[in-house]
């Protein structure tokens, strides 16, 4: 009888199994992955010398969880190039670089002079009703003004969630920003205070962006997946899809779609909402009723390899995002070969473009040829692409990023409360507790310590 069965071999499930094995070496831990590979949305495809990330392309080093795990696995992380500090937003059909300092902001063309003055007046805006679950859009317009919302905050929601800021919850998506208004009454006053306190300690204070340096590995994010799977060995079973689970006197019984039955003292569902709902539809319909409220819009990723010099723009930077007010057909693009070395063969550049999301889900489902035509057309207009790409790879995620919409925090609390009626059953995936890979690993380590204690 397995001590713990984990349904789902993404980074949440793999890291949970690794932490459990470290804390309790004698325990039997089994990871059941439905697909023929582990890793979930951390998935690297290497073809014709191009290193294409099907999903997440790195982790920020401002949180220790994932990089600490990588170090314990013997991996050597690779920091992004300095060019990755240059990020762009489309405005009036042109790419405008985002400012990275107060001095750059004052002279930037990203906002008009009235728009910049409105941002500076944020320190005078009174504190909002913090008991309300405010949308990201409402918060940004209230504190920073309409223009800053359209060209600074809306693209951020696109880049992180591929979401609709009118529906995304500030408190759930960006809890730190919510806390700064609560504790300091103003984001500007908070930054001034925190920078002053940091200088007293000889440290660098917080900036306007998310902070941290994007970090990956020489051959992509699959290095982390492969290292975890290699260390766990037979504890990871592929092509093992869970159909349902049921409570037993001594623990839980897990039924696989191949007819196999397993028993465990604890079951952790580390898989998306659809798989959790299928597994629990008979045993815990109350949890299913809550979980299905979480929305996953589709996203397609178009990887293009082009020869250097075939664009008017040098593509020397992180990439760009498209505010919804610009009415573009793409969400944005990452210039991967400028972000990390070795992502494209000598003389070539690698670009990944995102299409769909909450803004335009139907575009993500276009046939390959139509999707490529759309992306090439947008790139011709925005960066002066001449001709067609020499390398193309299209990836599709029908359920891409879980949306933390208004009411998400209350929904998560209801799910947590409902789980108390099912001792030994846990849910650990990115639709609860944070969508980033750092959040997933940190939450898995926390759960492992809880189980081991």
The answer to whether residue 203 scores a pLDDT higher than 70 is no
215 shares its domain with 83: yes
User: What value does the mean pLDDT of the chain take?
Assistant: 94
Three-state SS string over 150-219 comes to HHHHHHHHHHHHCCCCCCEEHHHHCHHHHHHHHHHCCHHHHHHHHHHHHHHCCCCCCCCCCCCCEEECCC
Q: What residue numbers bound the domain in which 9 lies? A: 2-40+225-294+404-452
Lowest mean pLDDT among 32-41, 84-93, 199-208, 351-360: 199-208
325 shares its domain with 365: yes
CATH code assigned at 185: 1.10.3110.10
The answer to whether residue 120 scores a pLDDT higher than 80 is yes
Determine the pLDDT at residue 44: 97
Average the pLDDT over 71-90 and give the result: 94
313 shares its domain with 186: no
411 shares its domain with 385: no
328 shares its domain with 386: yes
Structure tokens at 7: 């349904």
301 shares its domain with 396: yes
In this predicted model, what pLDDT tens digit does every residue of 256-312 receive, in sequence order? 999 999 999 999 999 999 999 999 999 999 999 999 999 999 999 999 999 999 999
110 shares its domain with 75: no
In this predicted model, what pLDDT tens digit does every residue of 217-240 receive, in sequence order? 999 999 999 999 999 999 999 999
Determine the pLDDT at residue 200: 79
Residue predicted with more confidence, 204 or 341: 341
The answer to whether residue 408 scores a pLDDT higher than 60 is yes
Residue predicted with more confidence, 1 or 155: 155
Residue 38 makes CB contacts below 8 A (sequence gap 6+) with 9, 10, 13, 14, 31, 225, 228, 229, 236, 238
311 shares its domain with 395: yes
In this predicted model, what pLDDT tens digit does every residue of 317-332 receive, in sequence order? 999 999 999 999 999 9
213 shares its domain with 92: yes
Calpha distance 425→298 (Å, rounded): 29
Element (H, E) at 1: none
Phi (first) and psi of residue 282, to 5 degrees: -95, -35
212 shares its domain with 77: yes
The number of domains in the chain is 3
Determine the pLDDT at residue 209: 53
Task: Return the number of other C-beta atoms located less than 10 Å from residue 285's C-beta.
Answer: 11
Q: Are 165 and 153 in contact (CB under 8 A)?
A: yes
Determine the pLDDT at residue 249: 85
384 shares its domain with 304: yes
Average the pLDDT over 55-80 and give the result: 94
**Confidence category of residue 351, pLDDT binned at 50, 70, 90:** very high
Q: How long is the chain?
A: 453
CATH code assigned at 238: 3.50.50.60
Determine the pLDDT at residue 204: 64
301 shares its domain with 421: no
CATH code assigned at 48: 3.90.660.20
Calpha distance 78→219 (Å, rounded): 10
- pLDDT above 90 covers a percentage of the chain that reads 88
Beta strands in 199-282 (DSSP E): 214-216, 236-237, 242-248, 251-256, 261-269
Where among 137, 165, 200 does a domain terminate?
Answer: 200
Euclidean distance between the first and final Cα of the chain, in Å?
19
The answer to whether residue 195 scores a pLDDT higher than 90 is no
The answer to whether residue 1 scores a pLDDT higher than 80 is no
**Confidence category of residue 210, pLDDT binned at 50, 70, 90:** low
In this predicted model, what pLDDT tens digit does every residue of 30-56 receive, in sequence order? 999 999 999 999 999 999 999 999 999
């Amino acid at each position: 009888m397995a001590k713990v069965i984990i349904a789902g071999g993404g980074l949440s499930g793999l890291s949970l199994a690794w932490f459990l094995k470290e804390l309790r070496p004698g325990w039997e831990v089994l990871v059941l992955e439905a697909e023929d590979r582990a890793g979930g949305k951390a998935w690297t495809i290497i073809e014709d010398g191009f290193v294409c990330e099907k999903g997440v392309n790195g982790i920020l080093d401002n949180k220790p969880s994932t990089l600490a795990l990588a170090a314990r696995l013997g991996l050597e992380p690779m920091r992004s190039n300095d060019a990755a500090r240059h990020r762009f937003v489309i405005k009036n059909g042109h790419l405008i670089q985002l400012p990275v300092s107060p001095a750059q902001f004052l002279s930037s063309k990203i906002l008009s002079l009235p728009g910049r003055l409105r941002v500076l007046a944020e320190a005078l805006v009174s504190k909002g009703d913090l008991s309300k679950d405010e949308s990201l859009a409402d918060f940004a317009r209230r504190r920073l003004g309409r223009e800053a919302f359209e060209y600074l905050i809306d693209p951020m929601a696109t880049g992180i969630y591929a979401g609709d800021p009118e529906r995304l919850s500030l408190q759930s998506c960006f809890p730190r920003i919510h806390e700064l208004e609560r504790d300091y009454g103003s984001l500007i006053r908070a930054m001034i205070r925190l920078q002053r306190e940091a200088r007293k300690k000889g440290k660098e204070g917080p900036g306007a962006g998310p902070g941290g340096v994007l970090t990956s590995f020489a051959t992509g994010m699959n290095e982390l997946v492969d290292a975890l799977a290699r260390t766990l060995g037979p504890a990871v079973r592929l092509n093992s899809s869970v159909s349902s689970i049921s409570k037993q006197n001594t623990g839980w019984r897990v039924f696989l779609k191949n007819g196999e039955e397993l028993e465990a003292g604890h079951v952790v569902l580390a898989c998306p909402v659809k798989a959790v709902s299928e597994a629990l539809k008979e045993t815990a319909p109350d949890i299913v009723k809550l979980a299905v409220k979480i929305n996953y819009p589709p996203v397609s990723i178009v990887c293009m390899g082009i020869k250097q010099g075939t664009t008017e723009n040098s593509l020397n930077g992180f990439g760009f995002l498209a505010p919804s007010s610009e009415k573009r057909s793409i969400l944005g693009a990452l210039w991967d070969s400028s972000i990390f070395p070795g992502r494209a063969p000598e003389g070539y550049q690698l670009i990944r473009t995102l299409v769909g999301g909450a803004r335009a889900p139907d575009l993500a489902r276009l046939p390959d040829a139509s999707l490529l035509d759309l992306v090439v057309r947008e790139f011709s207009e925005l960066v002066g692409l001449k001709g067609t790409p020499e390398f193309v790879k299209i990836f599709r995620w029908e359920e891409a990023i879980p949306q933390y919409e208004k009411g998400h925090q209350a929904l998560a609390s209801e799910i947590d409360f409902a789980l108390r009626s099912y001792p030994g059953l846990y849910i650990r995936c990115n639709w609860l507790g944070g969508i980033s890979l750092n959040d997933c690993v940190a939450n898995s380590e926390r759960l492992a310590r809880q189980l081991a204690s």
